[in-house]
């Protein structure tokens, strides 16, 4: 779950991380009122969308008085901001964040992520921040410093002072940075985050550190432990189909192909998509049935696939486990077929728990399908059917 900048900053502030004074506004008049309350000589007006590169796209602008803040907000609100991360359609700007502009001595890049090789939390830093950090890191990997966090029963530990020195911070600056690094690591673990990014992390002439921009992503699978964070989800920024799928325990992403894909498990789903593309097919969606999904919930996910008029073929690739046996998916296929009334060529590959029983259920329901023994065979048959060839 992505959080907006103003939400991420409010959370970081609870962990003692300094942020510039500011406030969120939904209208130009509200933006002007926030500016009046700030009373700053210079202010930044920032479009709140779930995408990076806002500055380069004109989504972050500087104002020197309340009236300019109002005019900038009026120009941004209701428009679609197109950045490198939004795609050509852009993201609709529904709110702006107005904050005091801060004079800084230098800026850094800081992020907390999961290091997949070690399975530990890692801090990633660079001596210079900015929205071109990815390009600079690609050109010079040595520009990026990494610190692995050691887990413990109490607070996680690491050489935070040493990491500060590697980012060219000395003296009191290094001490303050070490405290901030520890706070970011603690927040990452406490919140079940998958990303916390502060870019830029500003250093003032007095040596104080402040988060000028912040990005935070929370693991959806952990939201049951964080009901306060779950309430922050901006459903307006989510694809309606994907949101509907999430409500029914399905991870779903629409694509532009013609082969609908029904799979349980993210890894198996990604492998299925790769195999389809390698075989010359065009997937219409990514689907990952969560282990907690019932047959009724899975059927709703199938509805989303079948309601897409561009889908010509349905590929079902399910490996039954203890939580999601194959027969549950078979029941869902029958429910969805009856509800939508749509019948399209279907290729089924069931393996694992209740695989044979699931095939029996489909036959008893009168579902017409081509059975495949392996993933490779299932993919090849689906691609042939999408081309109008015999399976």
Give per-residue pLDDT as tens, 34-49: 999 999 999 999 999 9
Partners of residue 319 on adjacent β-strands: 351
**Residue 86, in any domain of the structure:** yes
Same domain, 248 and 364: yes
pTM: 0.71
Q: Are strands 80-81 and 91-92 parallel, antiparallel or unpaired?
A: antiparallel
* Domain CATH code at residue 307: 3.40.50.261
Among candidate residues 5, 97, 99, 109, the one labeled active-site is: 109
pLDDT above 90 for 112:
yes
**Residue 3, in any domain of the structure:** no
Average pLDDT over residues 364-378: 94
The residue among 50, 71, 100 that closes a domain is 100
The backbone torsions φ and ψ at residue 195, rounded to the nearest 5 degrees and listed phi first, read: -160, 135
Output the pLDDT for position 152. 63
**Residue 5, in any domain of the structure:** no
197 is a catalytic site residue: yes
357 is a catalytic site residue: no
The residue among 81, 100, 119 that closes a domain is 100
Burial of 364 from C-beta contacts in 10 A (0-12 / 13-18 / 19+): exposed
pLDDT above 80 for 117:
yes
**Residue 70, in any domain of the structure:** yes
| 271-316 pLDDT per residue, tens | 999 999 999 999 999 988 888 888 988 999 899 899 899 999 999 9
The residue among 48, 72, 100 that closes a domain is 100
Whole-number average pLDDT of the chain:
90
pLDDT above 90 for 390:
no
What is the residue range of 352's domain? 239-386
- Tally of domains within the chain: 3
Burial of 15 from C-beta contacts in 10 A (0-12 / 13-18 / 19+): middle
Same domain, 159 and 288: no
Same domain, 379 and 284: yes
Average pLDDT over residues 334-363: 93
**Residue 185, in any domain of the structure:** yes
- For residue 28, name the pLDDT band (cuts at 50, 70, 90): very high
Among candidate residues 145, 197, 331, 380, the one labeled active-site is: 197
């Amino acid at each position: 779950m992505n959080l907006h900048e103003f939400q991420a900053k409010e959370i970081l502030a609870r962990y003692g991380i300094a942020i510039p004074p500011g406030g969120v506004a939904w209208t130009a008049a509200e933006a002007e009122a926030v500016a009046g309350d700030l009373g700053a000589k210079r202010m930044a007006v920032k479009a709140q969308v779930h995408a990076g590169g806002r500055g380069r796209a004109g989504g972050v602008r500087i104002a020197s008085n309340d009236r300019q803040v109002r005019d900038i907000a009026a120009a941004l609100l209701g428009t679609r901001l197109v950045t490198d991360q939004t795609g050509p359609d852009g993201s609709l700007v529904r709110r702006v964040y107005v904050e005091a502009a801060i004079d800084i001595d230098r800026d850094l890049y800081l992020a907390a992520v999961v290091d997949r090789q070690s399975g530990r939390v890692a801090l990633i830093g660079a001596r210079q921040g900015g929205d071109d950090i990815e390009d600079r890191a690609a050109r010079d990997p040595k520009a990026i410093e990494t610190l692995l966090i050691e887990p413990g029963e109490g607070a996680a530990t690491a050489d935070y002072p040493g990491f500060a020195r590697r980012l060219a911070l000395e003296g009191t600056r290094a001490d303050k940075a070490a405290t901030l690094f520890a706070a970011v690591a603690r927040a990452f673990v406490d919140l079940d985050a998958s990303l916390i990014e502060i870019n830029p992390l500003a250093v003032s002439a007095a040596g104080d550190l402040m988060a000028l921009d912040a990005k935070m992503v929370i693991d959806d699978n952990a939201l049951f432990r964080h009901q306060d964070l779950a309430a922050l989800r901006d459903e307006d920024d989510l694809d309606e189909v994907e949101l509907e799928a999430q409500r029914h325990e399905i991870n779903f992403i629409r694509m532009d192909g013609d082969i609908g894909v029904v799979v349980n498990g993210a890894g198996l789903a990604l492998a299925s998509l790769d195999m389809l593309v390698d075989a010359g097919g065009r997937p219409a969606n990514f689907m990952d049935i969560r282990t907690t999904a019932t047959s009724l919930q899975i059927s709703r996910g199938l509805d989303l696939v079948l309601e897409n008029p561009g889908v010509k073929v349905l590929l079902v690739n399910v490996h039954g486990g203890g939580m999601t046996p194959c027969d549950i998916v078979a029941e869902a296929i029958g429910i969805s077929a009856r509800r939508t009334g749509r019948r399209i060529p279907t290729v089924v590959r069931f393996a694992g728990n209740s695989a044979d029983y699931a095939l029996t259920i489909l036959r008893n329901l009168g579902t017409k399908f081509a059975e495949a023994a392996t993933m490779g065979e299932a993919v090849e048959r689906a691609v042939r059917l999408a081309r109008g060839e015999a399976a």
